[in-house]
Chain A
Amino acid sequence: MDNPKASTLASAGKFLGPFLPAVVVFLVAMVWGTLASPFFLDIPVLLLHSGRYMEIGLLALAMTLVIIHGDIDLSVASNLAFSAAMLGLVYESGASIAVASVAAIAVGTTLGLFNGFLVTVVGLPSLVVTLGTLALYRGMAQIALGDQAVTGYPDGFVGADQNLVFELIPLPLTVFIVMAVLIGFLAHRTTFGFVSLMLGKNQVATMFSGLQPKMNRLIAFALSGAMAGFAAVLITARLGSTRSNLALGFELLVVTIVVLGGTDIFGGKGTIGGTVLALFAVIAVREALAIQNVNGQIQDAVIGLILVLTIAVPVAVSRLFGRVKVSRRKALLGLEKGTTQ
């Protein structure tokens, strides 16, 4: 308090705390990749490669909101696949690619709303609902497309992911940044976001506070679906083809990134900024491993280890300093009792 520098330092530390694991992982991976391969640190190439992860990134943004509420949406990847299937079928039926893309986003949002309806209006647990729709939406995609692929998308659309904004930032990354800013604003600068956090911390208390928590959760699920629709458009442009097995298993990668970004899996705590950082940390790790020809299984294992460590290390550290904290808390409690009585 006497030393303003110390207090700003402390508040900076407090602010950075939840982001620290992702930042450390990102920096270590970048340095390590650079040392390991002369080909690694080519910023335009790395930015271009990041496009591959932006579908997961978009899903993770909305998933952060869903998880902050204390819910989960496991159906995102299946929703993406069905939205992409609809994009393909609408385009095949003769509509323009723009119309087909809008249709995909609309379909994704609708499927997200359906999840939200079952969770908030019917009152079913989101884990069960979206576990069901994970299978349902994937099955619908398979029925829609069968074993066939939709191909023959127009040239300007296929490879659109290689277009650069400001001659540096690839289109998928640009879309992601815009969405991150919008959803970040929603989560951290609006009443909606405030209610979200309260809801995750204590649902019962929030319901008695005269707010509209149901609406909040419904919007989060709809947003999750909308992101699946956007991701469907991005992935179709990137691959130039659509199959029903698109994005298989993406939901686990999405949840991993959200948790890695410091969002509490039980809700009530989390930031969009953390998710963004975690996404880039995962990209850096994967790219640093890929350039060294490290196989898929080992890459998955490394990401898994990082996830466990980022959760375990802070807990271990707080246990280590636990005694101090407990005694402090006791002192504080005693003080409060003293003042209220």
Chain B
Amino acid sequence: MKRMKLGTKSPRSKFFALGASALVAVGLVGCATDASDSTDSAPAEPTTDSAEVLEIVYIPKNLGNPYFDNIVAGLQEAAPELNMTVEVVGPAQAGATDQIQYIDAAIQQQVDAILISPNDADALVPSLKRAMDAGIVVISVNSDMSAEGRDLAILPVDFTTLGDFLVELTAEVTDGAGDFAVLSATSTAPDQNVWIEGMRDVLAGGAYPDLNLVDVVYGDDAPDKSTNETNALLTRYPDLAAIVAPTTVGVAAAAQVLSASPLKGQVQVTGLGTPNEMRQYIKDGTVKAVALWDPKAQGILAAHLAAALINGTFTATPGASINVPGVGDRVVNDDTQVITGPPVTFTAENIDDFDF
């Protein structure tokens, strides 16, 4: 009110007048459609079409990443039998806060479940709490986050053993000796950071006395940045034995750099990569072995768990078990996580058996 007075008192204060008129305009638009909106949404709520068709939204870390496309493929494969529609929306970059807009939009659309591969373990918690308060099932897919922000987490693999696994894989391709560097995703990616910590623990344990982790660099899951970081590593450490990239974007970029480099075969590339992206590098001898789990199985599991939680046939409490066709029996662990399965190592012998 005071502001209005100010605006009318001084004829020169166009600024205030403009602000006031903009507010009035918004208000008018708001009133005009508020009425129709309430009549519109009134029947939409009680009819609950959603009791028949389950509406779920999947928010990957970012778009254009083939890894998450496979999770989507799994969700879509399982959707028809579960009578479920799957919308996939996501940000252009894997920034910590870029996913919040899509969480808010999903709440506004009153979906039944939000499946999310979180870019940050903490920053999304307030938004996801609001979703759960609105009765939406929230499942963290592919990596976990603060437990207060989700009902359940689906992990691709037992993360606690992945550090061991990656060191074992590195030892395999380097014959157990040499300096190696890690090319990771973003410096804040929660999953990669846990794995790298796990690798450090294994190395500190002394089981691999001749393997040295000399550096950790971050390619931000962007091909160009990952390529630059790979080149920088090769220049900085002339005696490097291996580059280990626990991210599919990073490992493909590193393999691509080395396949065209005179250091091909001398510097090994390994880590987590999809068979389709790594096939050519395994076949041309740049890469001996990479590993991954089946992200598609994760998508199938996620769809079934979401449906069971929405329908109330399953609760996200430790010890609860569920049989998922095509995946098997899975049990919720003490951290309310469900683990998809063990990793698969791809080599020249078996890579043609996989297509994702």
* A236 nearest in chain B by CB position: B123
Interface residues on B, range: 35 or more
The one of B15, B44, B88, B126 in contact with A188, judged by C-beta atoms closer than 8 angstroms, is: B15
The one of A23, A45, A151, A276 in contact with B108, judged by C-beta atoms closer than 8 angstroms, is: A45
Residues from chain A with a CB closer than 8 A to the CB of B95 are: 245, 248-249
Contact A271 B15 (CB under 8 A): yes
Q: How far is the CA of A7 from the CA of B274 in the complex (A)?
A: 69
Is A295 close to B, CB under 8 A?
yes
Contact B101 A286 (CB under 8 A): yes
Residues from chain B with a CB closer than 8 A to the CB of A336 are: none
The one of B14, B57, B108 in contact with A42, judged by C-beta atoms closer than 8 angstroms, is: B108
- The CB with the most chain A CB atoms within 10 A, among B87, B97, B125, is that of B97
Is A52 close to B, CB under 8 A?
yes
Residues from chain B with a CB closer than 8 A to the CB of A287 are: 105
The one of B25, B92, B122 in contact with A241, judged by C-beta atoms closer than 8 angstroms, is: B122
Residues from chain A with a CB closer than 8 A to the CB of B122 are: 149, 151, 239-241, 243
* B18 nearest in chain A by CB position: A273
* A247 nearest in chain B by CB position: B97
Is A229 close to B, CB under 8 A?
no
The residues in B between 3 and 39 inclusive whose CB is less than 8 angstroms from any CB of A are: 3, 13-16, 18-19, 22, 25-26, 29-30, 33-34, 37
Query: Could you give, for residues 90-108 of chain B, a 1 whenever the CB lies within 8 Å of some chain A CB and a 0 otherwise?
Result: 1111011110111011001
Contact A245 B125 (CB under 8 A): no
Q: How far is the CA of A286 from the CA of B98 in the complex (A)?
A: 12
Query: Could you give, for residues 22-50 of chain A, a 1 whenever the CB lies within 8 Å of some chain B CB and a 0 otherwise?
Result: 01000100100010011111110100010
* B102 nearest in chain A by CB position: A290
Residues from chain A with a CB closer than 8 A to the CB of B44 are: 38
Is A172 close to B, CB under 8 A?
no
Residues from chain B with a CB closer than 8 A to the CB of A273 are: 14-15, 18-19
Contact A37 B109 (CB under 8 A): yes
Is B40 close to A, CB under 8 A?
yes
* A16 nearest in chain B by CB position: B18
Contact A41 B105 (CB under 8 A): no
Interface residues on A, range: 35 or more
Shortest B39–chain A CB gap in Å is 10
Residues from chain A with a CB closer than 8 A to the CB of B33 are: 34, 41
Contact A293 B57 (CB under 8 A): yes
* B148 nearest in chain A by CB position: A240
The one of A49, A149, A244 in contact with B121, judged by C-beta atoms closer than 8 angstroms, is: A149
Is A321 close to B, CB under 8 A?
no
Is B47 close to A, CB under 8 A?
no
Residues from chain B with a CB closer than 8 A to the CB of A42 are: 37, 108
Is B276 close to A, CB under 8 A?
no
Tell whether A295 pairs with B41 under 8 Å between CB atoms, given A41-B30, A43-B34, A52-B101: no
Is B280 close to A, CB under 8 A?
no
- The CB with the most chain B CB atoms within 10 A, among A45, A241, A277, A294, is that of A241
Residues from chain B with a CB closer than 8 A to the CB of A192 are: none
Q: How far is the CA of A227 from the CA of B101 in the complex (A)?
A: 23
Tell whether A290 pairs with B101 under 8 Å between CB atoms, given A243-B96, A273-B15: yes
Contact A147 B14 (CB under 8 A): no
Q: How far is the CA of A325 from the CA of B101 in the complex (A)?
A: 46
Shortest A12–chain B CB gap in Å is 10
Contact B101 A238 (CB under 8 A): no
Shortest B147–chain A CB gap in Å is 13
Is A159 close to B, CB under 8 A?
yes
The one of A15, A272, A276, A291 in contact with B105, judged by C-beta atoms closer than 8 angstroms, is: A291
Contact B105 A290 (CB under 8 A): yes
Q: How far is the CA of A277 from the CA of B40 in the complex (A)?
A: 29
Query: Could you give, for residues 157-199 of chain A, a 1 whenever the CB lies within 8 Å of some chain B CB and a 0 otherwise?
Result: 0110000000000000000000011001100110000000000
* A22 nearest in chain B by CB position: B22
Shortest A211–chain B CB gap in Å is 22
Q: How far is the CA of A130 from the CA of B186 in the complex (A)?
A: 24
- The CB with the most chain B CB atoms within 10 A, among A43, A151, A180, A272, is that of A43
Contact B15 A296 (CB under 8 A): no
The one of B22, B104, B125 in contact with A240, judged by C-beta atoms closer than 8 angstroms, is: B125
Tell whether A147 pairs with B187 under 8 Å between CB atoms, given A239-B126, A297-B63, A297-B92: yes
Q: How far is the CA of A30 from the CA of B37 in the complex (A)?
A: 14
Q: How far is the CA of A150 from the CA of B33 in the complex (A)?
A: 42
Contact A280 B15 (CB under 8 A): no
Q: How far is the CA of A181 from the CA of B92 in the complex (A)?
A: 34
Pairs across A and B, CB under 8 Å, 14 listed: A23-B22, A30-B29, A39-B108, A39-B109, A39-B110, A42-B108, A149-B121, A149-B123, A239-B96, A248-B93, A272-B15, A290-B102, A293-B102, A295-B90
Interface residues of B (CB under 8 A from A): 3, 13-16, 18-19, 22, 25-26, 29-30, 33-34, 37, 40-41, 44, 57, 62-64, 87-93, 95-98, 100-102, 104-105, 108-110, 120-123, 125-126, 146, 186-188, 193
5 shortest interchain CB distances as A-B pairs: A241-B122, A296-B92, A296-B91, A290-B105, A239-B123
Beyond the given A244-B188, A290-B101, please list 5 additional residue pairs across the A-B interface where CB-CB is below 8 A. Answer: A27-B25, A27-B29, A41-B29, A158-B126, A248-B93
